Amino acid sequence: MRFLHLDLMAYGAFADRRLTFRQDAGLHVVYGPNEAGKSTMLQAIGDLLFGFPARKQMDFRHDAASLRVGASIRAADGREFAFTRRRGNKATLRDPGSDDVLPDESLAAFLGGMDRQRFEREFGLTAEALRQGGETLAGLSGDLGASLLAASSGLGGLRKLREAIEAEADSIFSKRKSKDRIFWIASEERDEARAEERDVEIALSAQEWRDTEKAIQETAGLQEEANAELAAAEIALASAERRLALRPALRHLDQARERLSQFASLETFTDDLPERLESTLAERESAEEVLRDLSERHRVAEARREGLEARPDLAEAADAVRLVAEDLGRYRKDVADVPKVQAQLRERREAIGRQLSEMGIAADKATVTRITVAQRADLRQEALHLQDAERERGRLEKEAEALQRRLDSETSSDEITALPETRQLERAVAALRPVFDDAVAAEQESRRAQDDLEASRQAALALDPSVADLDRCVDRPVPLQREWSVLLNEWRGHHQERENRGNRLAETRKRIAAIKQRIGEAERTEALVDPLLLSQSRQSRDRKLGDLREGTSSDWDGLHTAIVETDRIADRLLAEAESGAGLRRDRAEQAREEKALEDDESAIEELDRQLANWQARWQALFASITEKPPLPERTESWMARFVDLRDDASDARRRLKAATRALATAQDQVPALRELAGVLGLGQLGGLGVLHLWAAILERLAEVAAERQSRAATDALRHEHERMLRDHRQQIEQFDATIALSRARLDQDLGDLGLPTGHGADAVLTLLESLASMSSMQEEAARLQTRVEGLEADVERYRSRVMDLLSRLAPDLCEEAPDAAVTILWQRCQKAVTTAERLSEAEEELTTVEDELAFARGRTEETRQNADLILSTLPETLDATTFIERLRERRAARRSCQDQERQFTEIAQDLTESEVREAVQSEGEEAAHRAILELRDAKDAAQDKKQRLAQELGRLGQQLEGLRRRKGSELAAFRRQGAEERMEIAAHEWGRLKAASILLDAAMDRYAKSVPNTTLDGAANLFELLTDGAFSGLAEDLDAEGRPILLVTRNDGTRLPVNGTLSEGTRDQLYLALRLGWLKERAAQADLPPFVGDDLFASFDDQRTEAGLKALSSVSPSLQPILFTHHRAVVETARKALGDRLDLIEL
């Protein structure tokens, strides 16, 4: 869809303003300074296409009710639509001419179901949205689906949204049990409540309360000490690891400095000296080369000047000679024309004499040819009148002869054989017509019925199973639907039961095999644990715990080990008990499954016997129709088709019998038909069939009627011809009298003028034409005489001009013919002029070369002095090339040293180089590794101690909390119910969030896969254009998780990810390329609205702005690009870049 023009009739500050969009333009740029109405126009486009918003806007000049905008648009298929839009709730779309209400569907057909929000998001782009789009691409880590979705639809941040949803879902639930997940917190509360419900009463003594509080305080103190130990261990470990990492950095730094020290002798020379030296030497060599070239040019110019010889007299007379040479062709023509014209004059005079002789006029009586024009006209009129009368009489004579011949050839109807009377015959035929019309229709119906019957038979044979004798089935009863339906339902029940039993039998066998496998694995387990070990382990744990309480021991690690070992043995015994119970359950289940297997096998055998019996009854039911019964699953369709075919056959046979009866009735009328045939002269056809005889009678009767009509018309025509013959003979007699009178008057007029008489009209006309041509011939002879005299005078004047020039410039040519002499003289003048021009050019070239040669000598001397000055500062032991290479090696060594120092500083952080060196020298590398291992062990021990104390503190806290509870389980039950409700809510919310994340991720992946390669190809071309060739395109790759990602390709073939490597401006260009490429691809499939950009290039420099304008113009064949701007520089750049393809609209 494209705008042809936009009308701001009453909108904002505009009134009756029309903006016309040139259709052959590549880009429409709407320019206006601030406050000129650009924003108003952007708002007007949206209000025009989608209606005015409910909130009043743009009514600061016109009242809201009178707001009007309009446009004329054109679809891709050429359809045009002109309309206006007023503000209102309904009937806002109007015809611009009649103001009639237009249906909203008429505009919706051009918009393709698009709403305002989607239009502004996908087809509108501002500088701020462009910058945000570039930032969005950087934050998507190159994700292809998210990048294309963000650029094409304008929806950014979808990948971040999915990550936020995942994080929120992870905070609710994770597969591994965690204390900071909402679900698992509620789960722990539920388990605690269940435990409390099992505890009916809890008793607590004061001593236990005090002991618990004291233990909590002591454990908390120990935990603070453990935290301090852990922090000190982490600091010491980080410091040791940093010192170890600084060792290779320090070695690399020393190596770089040592490399740099090798160039100490070159310290006085700057780093830019190699380039300056190379530039100076190149300038010297270039200046010397230019000097040599100019010297050679000077020598050639001097030689060229010396080789030229001038003739100034010929050069000055060149114009006069040129004029004579230009007239040479006319002179030659005049010389050739003189004898030709003289010959024509002689021929004309001889022709005049011959014509007088042919006219019978003597040459001495030539004065007769001076008859006036009026006299010739009168004679011509009389001769023409006579000629017309003679021609008309001749025509009438010919027509009369033709009429006489036609009358002689025509025969009167009285002489023709009489025809039979048809009225009585027609009444007899009318009486028989109903019978024979029915017979004809019956014969056609009989053929159709036979064809239908045969088609039904063939279709019955094509059934599977086939019906060999369909006619027999018509006369015999067939199985009723209730009969075969009962059997079919019985088969379905047996078949379904058989299938279910078979499936259940297979599943039972699988379960038995799995049970046997579990039993075998359980029987192969290791020996049982002795319960006595659990008792001994518990006694050891209790002793250690008692020692700690009494203060006789501080072996917390030993207590922890004893508790772990006791729990391990208890878990083993519990697992073995559960395994034994499971083994007993498996064996019982095996027995039940084997019993069920036997029952199913017996049931299947019984079902097979029932199906065999059913098959026999099924075949007997269809024995009267077909040898082989239809398959049960296809019985309904087969029977429906068979019944249709049987009904079709029955109907065909009925129609065939009715047709036979009608034909028999017609056969009874054969005697009457033969009598009619005898009357009509068709007695010889009496042996034909009844229908053929009837057709012959109808045809003969029609022929007799037609013959009667033909004879009547012939008689009327003969009478008309006789009348016309009488009229023609009367007219011939009248013309004979008129011709005699005209001929006598013409002879008298000819005799009065002295011309021959007694000739016909044609001869008189010929005589008059000869007299008219005689005058023109005499005038032509006089004209030829005048021309001969003029040609001879021109030839003589030209010869005089030639001789004058030859006597002054070339006396040696005076004896030559004038035309040859002029040719040679003109060639000499041309050569003289050319020689003079070449001599002038040679002088100018020589002067120019001398000036350039003087400048080149000075420039060469200057470059030699500069080169000598720089070369004088170089070491005498090195040539210039080696010196340049050494300086560049020194510069590379210095940069390497600076890089190593920067890396060392980044690793050392707040440590100085001297401190690091002192630390490295005081401690060997192997000792440093051992120290790090010891510090890591110390850190792990501190973490283990902290974790144990945290667990102990938690246990003591739970113990103290339990001491606060009293008798009763109602509160615990309420807590359990609340925890279960929170678990249910958390599970529901987690499922909703996970589903949203999965759907969003699938949508982005599906979108990436749905985008054709042509979209990326188009975006790649636009990206190359936008970056002015710095990047050659886009590429697709897979990340570590196998997801497609977007890469950019530099002009050297290097591929880079989107995030972290592209500048802000390049990201903006990539976003614009993706957006335009997507729109261009969509435009090939659907008609799209215009793309509207608002000051897109506000932050672009001139080069990027020019590239952006060209990119927008490149999509104009697919969709209409419109750019709004208030920057005059953008307009000037557009004029320079687009030329005639720019459509500038100024507000």
pLDDT, one tens digit per residue, over 473-526 is 877 777 888 888 888 888 888 888 888 888 888 888 898 898 888 888 777 664
CA proximity to 983, closest of 167, 181, 196: 181
Q: Which residues pair with 19 in a beta bridge?
A: 6
Instruction: Give the pLDDT score at 3.
Output: 92
CB-neighbour burial class of residue 1117 (10 A; exposed 0-12, middle 13-18, buried 19+): exposed
| pLDDT greater than 50 at residue 205 | no
1033: left (phi over 0), alpha (psi -120 to 50) or beta: left
Question: What distance separates the 2 farthest-apart alpha carbons in the chain?
Answer: 184
Torsion of CA 922, 926, 931, 936, to 10 degrees: 150
The whole-chain average pLDDT of the chain stands at 79
Q: Which residue has the tokens 């987690």?
A: 990
The pLDDT tens digits of the residues spanning 664-691 come to: 887 787 777 777 777 777 767 666 777 7
Instruction: Give the pLDDT score at 84.
Output: 93
916 vs 1141: which has the higher pLDDT:
1141
What is the share, in percent, of the chain residues with pLDDT greater than 70? Answer: 85
| pLDDT greater than 70 at residue 977 | no
1109 vs 562: which has the higher pLDDT:
1109
755: left (phi over 0), alpha (psi -120 to 50) or beta: beta
| pLDDT greater than 80 at residue 77 | yes
CA proximity to 46, closest of 111, 105, 90: 111
What's the count of helices (H) and strands (E) in the chain, helices before strands? 31, 13
Instruction: Give the pLDDT score at 412.
Output: 52
The pLDDT tens digits of the residues spanning 1019-1062 come to: 888 888 888 888 888 877 666 665 667 788 888 778 887 776 77
Q: What mean pLDDT comes out for the span 64-80? A: 88
Q: What is the full DSSP assignment across 213-278?
A: HHHHHHHHHHHHHHHHHHHHHHHHHHHHHHHHHHHHHHHHHHHHHHHHHTTGGGTTS-TTHHHHHH
The pLDDT tens digits of the residues spanning 90-132 come to: 888 899 888 888 888 888 878 877 888 878 878 888 888 888 8
Instruction: Give the pLDDT score at 150.
Output: 53
The pLDDT tens digits of the residues spanning 776-789 come to: 776 787 788 888 88
Element containing residue 125 per DSSP (H, E) = strand 124-126
Q: What mean pLDDT comes out for the span 229-243? A: 81
Task: Give the three-class secondary structure for 680.
Answer: coil
Q: Which residue has the tokens 């607590």?
A: 204
204 — pLDDT class (breaks 50, 70, 90): very low
Q: What mean pLDDT comes out for the span 1093-1109? A: 84
Whether the Cβ atoms of residue 374 and residue 831 lie closer than 8 Å to each other: no
**Can you tell me the distance from the alpha carbon of 977 to that of 971, in angstroms, rounded to the nearest whole number?**
10
| pLDDT greater than 50 at residue 200 | no
The pLDDT tens digits of the residues spanning 295-345 come to: 888 888 888 777 777 777 777 788 888 888 888 888 888 888 888 888 888
Task: Give the three-class secondary structure for 631.
Answer: coil
CA angle 522, 527, 532 (to 5 degrees): 125
Q: What ranges in 625-689 are assigned the alpha helix state H?
A: 635-667, 670-679
| pLDDT greater than 50 at residue 366 | no
The 10 Å Cβ neighbour count of residue 940 is 12
| pLDDT greater than 90 at residue 439 | no
**Can you tell me the distance from the alpha carbon of 1089 to that of 112, in angstroms, rounded to the nearest whole number?**
9
Q: Which residues pair with 126 in a beta bridge?
A: 1094
**Can you tell me the distance from the alpha carbon of 1075 to that of 800, in angstroms, rounded to the nearest whole number?**
86
**Can you tell me the distance from the alpha carbon of 128 to that of 12, in angstroms, rounded to the nearest whole number?**
24
CA angle 184, 189, 194 (to 5 degrees): 125
Kindly state the DSSP code that residue 1097 receives in the 8-state scheme: T
Torsion of CA 543, 548, 553, 556, to 10 degrees: 100
**366 Cβ neighbours under 8 A, 6+ residues apart:** 356
Lowest mean pLDDT among 505-509, 605-609, 925-929: 925-929
Q: What is the full DSSP assignment across 747-800?
A: HHHHHHTT---S--HHHHHHHHHHHHHHHHHHHHHHHHHHHHHHHHHHHHHHHH
Instruction: Give the pLDDT score at 1007.
Output: 58
| pLDDT greater than 70 at residue 363 | no
Task: Give the three-class secondary structure for 922.
Answer: helix
Lowest mean pLDDT among 327-341, 405-419, 1056-1070: 405-419
For 770, the token pair is 């000869």
CA proximity to 583, closest of 528, 512, 516, 507: 516
Q: What mean pLDDT comes out for the span 870-874? A: 78
The 10 Å Cβ neighbour count of residue 122 is 20
CA angle 1054, 136, 26 (to 5 degrees): 75
941 — pLDDT class (breaks 50, 70, 90): confident
For the ranges 124-128, 338-342, 763-767, 1107-1111, the one whose mean pLDDT is highest: 1107-1111
**Can you tell me the distance from the alpha carbon of 332 to that of 343, in angstroms, rounded to the nearest whole number?**
18
| pLDDT greater than 90 at residue 82 | yes
Kindly state the DSSP code that residue 962 receives in the 8-state scheme: H
| pLDDT greater than 50 at residue 368 | no
Q: What mean pLDDT comes out for the span 61-83? A: 87
What is the share, in percent, of the chain residues with pLDDT greater than 90? Answer: 4
The torsion angles phi and psi of 179, rounded to 5 degrees, stand at -80, -15
Q: What is the full DSSP assignment across 687-728?
A: TS-HHHHHHHHHHHHHHHHHHHHHHHHHHHHHHHHHHHHHHH
Q: What mean pLDDT comes out for the span 1084-1103? A: 83
**Can you tell me the distance from the alpha carbon of 359 to that of 372, in angstroms, rounded to the nearest whole number?**
17
- Distances in whole angstroms, Cα of residue 505 to Cα of each of 498, 509, 605, 913: 10, 6, 12, 82
Instruction: Give the pLDDT score at 27.
Output: 94
Instruction: Give the pLDDT score at 72.
Output: 93
Q: Which residue has the tokens 């078949």?
A: 495
| pLDDT greater than 60 at residue 1013 | no
Task: Give the three-class secondary structure for 1122.
Answer: strand
1140 vs 274: which has the higher pLDDT:
1140
Q: Which residue has the tokens 């639509």?
A: 81
CA proximity to 1110, closest of 1092, 1083, 1133: 1133
361 — pLDDT class (breaks 50, 70, 90): low
For every residue of 892-917, which 3-state class applies, written as one string?
HHHHHHHHHHHHHHHHHCCCCHHHHH
| Percentages of the chain per state (helix, strand, coil), in multiples of 5 | 75, 5, 20
**Can you tell me the distance from the alpha carbon of 764 to that of 756, in angstroms, rounded to the nearest whole number?**
9
Residue 188 identity (one-letter amino acid): E
For every residue of 1031-1085, which 3-state class applies, written as one string?
EEEEEEEECCCCCEEEEEEECCCCEEECCCCCCHHHHHHHHHHHHHHHHHHHHCC
